[in-house]
Amino acid sequence: MSSFGVKSLFTNIPLKFTTNLIVKSLFHDCCTQFQGISQNQMKKLLKWICQSTTFQFNGKFYKQIDGVAMGSPIAPLLADVIMNYVVDQALTKIDVQNKPIILCCYVDDIFVAFNDMSALDIFFNTLNSVHNNITFTKELECGDSLAFLDVLTEKNLRPEYKQQRIGNLLILACTRIKQVSFLTTKREILYLDYLTGLIKAPAYIMPYTMNSWTLKAC
C-alpha cells in the first residue's frame, strides 16, 4: 500500500493546458456550441476567469499568470481535470501487470495498492512523467498499515489476526450488554455463544464475558 500526493497542486496547475482539456471535453465530435456558448467564447471565458487574478504585495500589484489562486471557486474543478488527466495518462502508458489493484483518488491525494514494489515504482515514475508541473511524493505503508486522509488502513494477511480482532469486538459487545443490562437471559447468552461459534471466534470469549454475569431464567 502507498499514498501519493502532489506538491502544491493548486499553485502549479498549468492553466492553459488545463483549460484546453476542458474545451476539448466540451466540444467533441464536431460540437460547435455548449449551452449556447461557442468554443472560442468558452476559451475567452476560462482565460478571463483563471488569469484575471491580481494581488498587492509591498505596494506593488501582481497578476497571476499560471496556477490557481487558493480559495478560487473554480480551483477544485481545475484540480480534478488535471488530476484525472494525469492518472488516466499514467494508466494508459503502463502494462497491465504494473497497474494498481486498488486506486482511489481524492483531489491531489491517491491511495494505491500493488502486488509488488517494482510495479509501484513504475506507476509512481510514470505519474511524474506526465506533466512537468505535477510532481508527486509518496508515502509507503509501515507495519502493514497506512494513514490516508485521517483514516488508518490496515492490511489483513493473517487469519489468526482477523480472528483475534473479531474476538476483541465480541468482548466489547458482550461487555456493553453487561453494562446496560444487570440481568441477562440465558437465551441471549446462548445466542451470543452461537454467533461466536458461527464465525469461528476464539473459544475463550464467552466464558470470559459470562464469568460474572447474573443469569435469569428464560
| Exposed/middle/buried for residue 100 (C-beta within 10 Å: 0-12, 13-18, 19+) | buried
Q: Are 46 and 101 in contact (CB under 8 A)?
A: no
What string of pLDDT tens digits covers the 218 residues of the chain? 899 999 989 889 999 999 999 988 888 777 788 888 888 888 888 888 887 778 888 999 988 888 887 778 888 899 999 999 999 999 999 988 889 988 888 888 999 988 889 999 999 999 999 999 999 999 998 888 888 887 788 876 555 555 555 555 555 555 555 544 444 455 555 656 665 565 555 555 555 555 544 444 33
Question: What is the spatial distance between Cα 134 and Cα 78, in angstroms, rounded to a whole number?
Answer: 13
* Residue 138: predicted pLDDT: 93
What is the distance between the alpha carbons of residues 87 and 80, in angstroms, rounded to a whole number?
11
pLDDT at 52: 78
Beta carbons of 170 and 205 less than 8 angstroms apart: yes
- Beta-carbon contacts of 133 under 8 Å, excluding residues fewer than 6 positions away, are 12, 13, 14
Whether 107 and 83 have beta carbons less than 8 Å apart is answered as yes
CB distance 26 to 42 below 8 Å = yes
Q: What is the model's pLDDT at position 181?
A: 46
Q: What contacts 77, CB < 8 A, 6 or more positions away?
A: none
Looking at residue 34, what is its pLDDT? 81
Those residues with Cβ within 8 angstroms of residue 142's Cβ, 6 or more apart along the chain or in another chain: none
CA–CA separation, 186 and 80 (whole Å): 57
CB-based contacts of 65: which residues, under 8 Å, 6+ apart? 15, 51
0.75 exceeded by pTM: no
